[in-house]
Amino acid sequence: MSHSNDVVVTGIGVVTSLGFTRQAFWKSLVEGVSGVRPISAFDASRHKTRIAAEVRGFEPELWLGPKQVRRMSRVSQFAACAAVEAVRDAGLDLDREDPFRIGCVVGSAAGDYTNLEEQFLRFQEKGPGSVNPLTVPKVIPNMPAANVAIVLGLRGPNLGVATACATGCHALGAAIAILRQGAADVVLAGGAESTVTAFVLDGYSSMGVLSEQNDRYEEASRPFDADRDGFVLGEGAGVLVLETFEHARKRGAEILAYLAGFGMTSDAYNIAIPEPDGTAAAVAMEQAVRSAGLNLEDIGLINTHGTSTQVNDRVESRAVKLAFGDLYSRVPVTSNKSMIGHTLGAAGAIEAAATVLSLHHGIIPPTLNYRTRDPECDLNIVADEAREVRIEAALSNSFGFGGQNAVAAFRRGP
């Protein structure tokens, strides 16, 4: 069997509300642990929504030097720490690698809102000359990718992706292209987000898309459930070490899974509402399956976008049915957002990591809080308890504002 075009996953790094290593993250996912809690980052008492899936107990100094920490925003810290952890997990010795053959594609949908808000208020209060000189270098959205490269000394292709909630998944698609065109041997790919701020919370709340189940916070994120009332804001980062098969083989790396294919489309419909019939999302799924050299019958899991909003879950369900036809009811689906909330630009990468681990371990984590069937979301939902099943191939869906659709297709590793 020829592996000349294969891209493989050899390492995973995560910073999430469920933990900071792939082992801790995976254990909590399988056990159905919720990372949603009352907000601690600021006083949320006046907000309609007062809960989020925050990253708690985060100590970036465990991965980074003190000077590096001071010069980075929280979102860049998330990205850099996840990348360091991913390299460690992959057993990749960077001192033995050509730095110009290692790339980085790490995106963020929003960037550094915390610093932006603080410095804008400072400017308003004190006027010109008061803004911190690190403000712009911290805020601009390519900084998570840039900081990963600086910390690890990666001198190959470096891209910052920003496609709303499809960002983390689009980063994987860009990485495939870089590897397959021969521009790098290894690419660190993923997404990061840190938007649990009063301003961002209020912005989403004003759109009516956040859950207001403040007193039942662990049950607030309810993907596909008939009683869902919105998503829960999350934060964190996910980075995957992607390599050409030959590079991974030569260094004796463990292959966790193959990143076999990718699909992307645009709804070209609305800045915030998905195309109602789900056609473009369905085409993205079909593209991912086809580009992976797979058939629809091969797919044993769809890790859905599954936001827990009325509209998005309904449209994604329609898209799955369009793409899979009569097969749709046989394909297990799950939503990690029921536990980690919606991590926006990081979601596609963190959920891709979970998809890889499902293939690797033969376990599908549950979708929490699925209680009441919605006839418009009648998918084969893995509810409440993890399901053990051998999976040969899986899809990871990510859809974003503006109609951005991205789907990654994975195959089980050797």
Looking at the annotation, which residues are catalytic? 165, 305, 342
Find, among 53, 62, 65, 52, the residue nearest to 20 by Cα. Answer: 62
| Two tokens, residue 139 | 């805020």
Is the distance from CB of 188 to CB of 148 less than 8 angstroms?
Answer: yes
How far is it, in rounded angstroms, from Cα 257 to Cα 254?
Answer: 9
Is the distance from CB of 148 to CB of 239 less than 8 angstroms?
Answer: yes
* Strand, helix or coil for residue 391: coil
| Two tokens, residue 249 | 């083989």
Q: Give the sign of the dihedral formed by CA 328, CA 331, CA 332, CA 337.
A: negative
How many CA atoms are closer than 13 Å to the CA of 217, on its beta-carbon side? 19
User: Angle at CA 407, nearest 5°, toward 371 and 296?
Assistant: 80
Neighbouring residues of 157: CB distance < 8 A, sequence distance ≥ 6: 103, 104, 105, 178, 183, 184, 187
Neighbouring residues of 214: CB distance < 8 A, sequence distance ≥ 6: 38, 49, 50, 51, 220
Find, among 168, 163, 200, the residue nearest to 348 by Cα. Answer: 168
DSSP letter for each residue of 273-337: SPPTT-HHHHHHHHHHHHHTT--GGGEEEEE------HHHHHHHHHHHHHHHGGGGGGSEEE-TH
Rg from Cα positions in the chain: 20
Is the distance from CB of 234 to CB of 343 less than 8 angstroms?
Answer: yes
Q: Give the sign of the dihedral formed by CA 174, CA 177, CA 183, CA 186.
A: positive
Find, among 357, 328, 248, the residue nearest to 22 by Cα. Answer: 357
What is the per-residue burial (b if ≥16 Cβ within 10 Å, else e) of 47-59?
bebbbbbbbeebe
